[in-house]
Amino acid sequence: EVQLVESGGGLVQAGGSLTLSCVVSGFTFDDDTTIAWFRQVPGKDREGISCIYIPDGSTTYLDSVKGRFKISSDNGKNTAALQMNNLKPEDTGVYYCAVSWSTCGMGPSAYWGQGTRVTVSE
């Protein structure tokens, strides 16, 4: 059974930092694996924040987080992280990680965690 467990969320003041972690079990990181982070706020669709392509470490970011967030992975430990700096109130939401084959969390074959809540105060 594939399981993803996110952690690291919390309450932080604007300008602060948090690092989210995602531990993946039951899924073998191979030459087509992608791990993505999404954010969801009430009343809005889940939004893709960042994605890492495991084979070569290439990354993509939502424009609004470029230069502030950094995605990484530790393939030996089957983990991924999202380092978030200079947080803004609009970064508030529930953050989810998703693992899949080449789709950055899109599509029915992706596996999802339960999410970790991030709240950024003014």
pLDDT, position 102: 87
| Cβ partners under 8 Å of residue 59, min gap 6 | 50, 51, 52, 53, 71
Q: How confident is the prediction for the chain on average, in pLDDT?
A: 95
Give CA–CA dist 12/22, Å, rounded.
19
Give CA–CA dist 27/44, Å, rounded.
29
Residue 54: name the closest of 86, 17, 90, 79 by CA: 79
pLDDT, position 107: 86
* C-beta separation of 109 from 33 below 8 A: no
pLDDT, position 62: 97
- What pLDDT, in 10s, does the model give residues 2-48? 999 999 999 999 999 999 999 999 998 888 999 999 999 989 999 99
